[in-house]
Chains A and B, each alone.
Chain A
Amino acid sequence: MKKIITGVALLLLTTVFGTAQNRNNLISLNLSTNKLVVGYQRSFEKVPVWGEVFIGVSNQDINSSFDDGILGLKAGIPLFQFSKSNIYGYVNTGIYFTNNDYYNATCPFAGVGTGYKAEFGKNRRHAFIAEIGYVYGRKSYTQTYISDILSASTTDVFKLSPLTISIGYGFKF
């Protein structure tokens, strides 16, 4: 998983520096109760839609540590436009990587939500972002323990917390 995260991060940086001459790009840092996510967002030129790739750490598996990985894509569309802010709707999807001693449940997810983005600062390059959304992600898995005495197995289901509320900061370039 570390290789995947490193690869995506390098790709992200390449993309960022390769397109730095216009203002269709935004990098963001979003924080919620169970995850911390960095995103790179790019607005499309011909349609009022933006796409985003995001990567982060999360804490939703058994071990209560911020050591899970999250990687995904998001697409959004402005719903209401104001002079320095907008309200948008978004859909997202991705993969959640659990990281613990007890099970492995790489879990695809998909979600929908709405957000508020307010731009501020010189040339409005900074943004405050708040989002609320619903995400669906569940993965059935088998756990097995083997010792000199027995082997034991059971099945269980890993589910992502469905409600997501986050706030964040964005920088346009």
Chain B
Amino acid sequence: MNMQILVIAMLLCITTSCEKEEELTFSKGDIRIEIETGENWIHKFPLFLGLTKDNGPQFAIWIEDTTGKYLSTVFVTNKIATESWMSNKGNRRKEALPYWCYKRGVVYEDGLLLPTKEKPFTDGISGATPMADKEIQIRLKDFSTPIVIKAEFNHSVDFNDFFPKNAKAEDVNYSGGDQGSGQPAIIYADTLYPDQSTVYLKPIGRSSSDGSDGQVYTDLDKLTTARNIVKSIKIEIIK
């Protein structure tokens, strides 16, 4: 009898695990953001003895008004949102998504603009980096005027000839040291008008390589693999 109860309970648990996938439901006026991953979405992060781990990029998506005033974060990946970096040796990784950090403008106890373990980011959605395409739904409370949607993407240790591993802290191409960023974050943006149906965000520049400022640098020719982290970012207003 005891064994029958055990078997029945186990079968019940297994059955409940076969449930359907959650899906977003869109209504008229909703904004759909579709991130299509590029060929360099997954990057090999070195561990030890030549072993590597497949790493997705850190990224943030947020909205501003047309004067450049930050309005709200929509999504940010959890490592920067909760300070849960691997092998960062105390480095808070200010070079990860500096443009988003400066736009958001929240200063933490150590003077940096990065969320901490104790005070993680909570003013938006945060989650693990998806390993495939990502869909996000936005419903604006007031969408009578245009908004600007921006996104910033970055890989760790994504070095190239312009942003090498051995760059020194005083060099202009320093990116956080041997566990740092390598190529700086790439920034996408476009303006979305209420009467539009679809826009694709365009690359507008790169962030500061060492995270020391919130400027947009337009020398995108210095980025190589970072330009293919994302294939496209489609913004669609549901009509």
Give residues in A with beta carbon < 8 Å to B: 42, 44, 47, 49, 51, 62-64, 72-73, 75, 91-95, 101-103, 107-110, 136-145, 147-157
Contact = CB atoms under 8 A, between A and B. Distances in A.
Interface string B55-90: 000000001000000011011001000101000000
Which A-B residue pairs are the 7 nearest by beta carbons?
Answer: A108-B17, A93-B13, A140-B22, A51-B6, A140-B21, A154-B136, A93-B10
A150 B125 contact: no
A143 B125 contact: yes
Contact of A62 (B16, B63, B127): B127
B22 A108 contact: no
Interface string B6-42: 1101100110110111111000000000000000000
Interface stretch (B138-146, B195-203, B207-215, B227-235): B138-146
A47 B3 contact: yes
Contacts of A147: 72, 123
Contacts of A139: 19
B169 interface: no
A150 to B, nearest CB: 5
Interface in B86-130: 117, 120, 122-128, 130
Contacts of A157: 21
8 contacts: A73-B9, A73-B13, A93-B14, A102-B127, A140-B20, A153-B137, A155-B23, A156-B127
Nearest to A142: B22
A109 B17 contact: yes
B128 A62 contact: yes
B24 A153 contact: yes
Nearest to B83: A64
Nearest to A92: B10
Given A44-B3, A140-B22, 9 more contacts: A42-B2, A139-B19, A140-B19, A150-B138, A150-B140, A152-B74, A152-B125, A154-B125, A154-B136
B53 interface: no
Nearest to A109: B17
Contacts of A44: 2-3
B10 A75 contact: yes
B134 interface: yes
Contacts of A140: 19-22
